Amino acid sequence: MTITEIKFKTETPRKAIWKIWTDIENRRVWDKEVEYSSLSGDFKVSATEILSRRNRNT
């Protein structure tokens, strides 16, 4: 399992970020490093996300 934490400042409203972030099935649309992603169950604590990155060797 890999855990990644990234922090940055933005002027984008929180609701807009949350809407995109919780749309796991379409993450590949805005994150070009993602080949495939899915969520097992509802988006909540203890949920499991399956994610495959495009360039795993870089």
Residue 6 lies in a domain: no
2-49 residue pLDDT tens: 777 888 899 999 999 999 888 998 999 988 899 999 998 888 888 888
Separation CA 42–CA 57 (nearest Å): 31
Residue 46 belongs to what domain range?
A: 14-53
Question: Considering Cα of 11, then 52, then 6, then 47, what sign does the dihedral take?
Answer: positive
Residue 4 lies in a domain: no
Q: What is the pTM of this model?
A: 0.62
Residue 28 lies in a domain: yes
- pLDDT confidence of residue 42: 85
Q: Structural domain tally of the chain?
A: 1
Residue 7 lies in a domain: no
Facing residues of 36 across strands?
52
> Could you tell me what percentage of the chain is helix, strand and coil, using 3-state DSSP and rounding each to the nearest 5?
25, 20, 50
Identity of the residue numbered 56 = R
Separation CA 4–CA 52 (nearest Å): 14
- pLDDT confidence of residue 12: 94
